[in-house]
Amino acid sequence: MTDRSAIDAKAEAFFEDLWKTGDPWELETSPFERAKYGRQMEMLGGRRYHRVLEIGCGNGCFTTRLAEIADFVLALDISHLAVERARAATLGKGVECRVANIMHCDLRTELPWDLVVMSETIYYLGWLYSFFDVAWLASELLVATERDGHLLMANTCGGVEDYLLRPWMIRTYHDLFRNVGYGLSVEEIFWGIKNGAEIKVLISLFAKTT
């Protein structure tokens, strides 16, 4: 049987090491990342949300965008360094940045959320944890989502030579959330140039209709 505590420790150490380098994905400086965030916001269609849960907030670049359309945002990340930077970057009384591993969060204690955001996060969970664990998380997120609420997912699925980002695998993760009960509202491939490479990102907006 897999030692869950060892996996948790590996996850925390991996992301802490990444954030020690500064901004490992150039989230603050990349025109591509800014454009991607802008498209994600457009796909939300101008709706204002009461309570937003962001899983894997990093240094808070997208959190600041979410804060503009929400009464309250809870932004989670497993990295202490990332959360420190998010706290420094994110303004507003309605934002809470918290160090947490989503795989250990009791999602039912703080529900409901009318928007859940997972941007470039799910494939790391799939790499670290078992399929059952990831599937259970998907089902718990559905329970925690308000009726008529949304789940917004964005994941790189082309242009990067990384076995975690193979397009068929990314689509399988997105299909998992459809299988647990979310309905797909809109989906598209966003693409652009980053560091000389053409990057493709699968963006999906799901709705909870039952």
Task: State pLDDT tens for residues 104-116.
Answer: 999 999 889 999 9
Cβ atoms of residues 56 and 75 within 8 Å: no
Over residues 187-205, mean pLDDT: 96
Contact 191/201 with Cβ under 8 angstroms? yes
Q: How far is Cα 111 from Cα 192, in angstroms, rounded to an integer? A: 36
Q: Residue 104 sits in a domain of what CATH number?
A: 3.40.50.150
- Give residue 120's domain range: 4-207
What's the confidence (pLDDT) of residue 111?
Answer: 86
Q: Is the dihedral of CA 176, 40, 67, 120 positive or negative?
A: positive
Our count of domains for the chain comes to 1
Give the model's pLDDT for residue 2.
Answer: 54
State yes or no: pLDDT of 88 exceeds 80: yes
Residue 135 has pLDDT above 90, yes or no: yes
Of 207 and 209, which is predicted with more confidence?
207
Query: Two tokens at 174?
Result: 């997105």
Tokens of 207: 């709705």
| Phi then psi dihedrals of residue 69, to 5 deg | -120, 15
pTM for the full model?
0.95
Omega of the bond prior to 167 within 30 degrees of 0, cis? no
Mean pLDDT of 51-80: 96
The torsion defined by the Cα of 15, 194, 46 and 207, in degrees rounded to 10, comes to -60
| pLDDT at residue number 1 | 40
Gap between the Cα atoms of 91 and 42, Å rounded: 21
Residue with tokens 């949300």, as numbered in its chain: 49
**Strand 113-119 versus strand 183-194 pairing type:** unpaired
Compute the Cα dihedral for 137, 149, 171, 46 and give only its sign. negative
